[in-house]
Amino acid sequence: MSKAISDNSYVVKAEDWCPLMELSEKDTGDYPVNTFDAGHAEGWNACIDKITGES
């Protein structure tokens, strides 16, 4: 059995043993500036951008 991993332009079938999972969403929380949560969200979103090739 396989699972579908989708991108906006195509769908790729991954085998069950494949460790790939769907990409997490960006953190859109509204955090106070200069707090741990704001910094964590910024780093999280930068990581997602790097993986997807966004800037």
Residue whose C-alpha is closest to residue 22's, from 6, 45, 8: 6
pLDDT tier for residue 18 given thresholds of 50, 70 and 90:
confident
Alpha helices in 1-55 (DSSP H): 36-52
pLDDT at 3 over 60: no
- Considering the entire predicted model, what is its pTM? 0.61
Tell me which residue of 11, 44, 50 sits closest to 3, measured CA to CA: 11
What are the beta bridge partners of residue 2?
A: 15
Phi first, then psi: give them for residue 10, nearest 5 degrees. Answer: -160, 165
Amino acid occupying residue 54: E
Structure-model confidence comparison of residues 21 and 4, the more confident one: 21
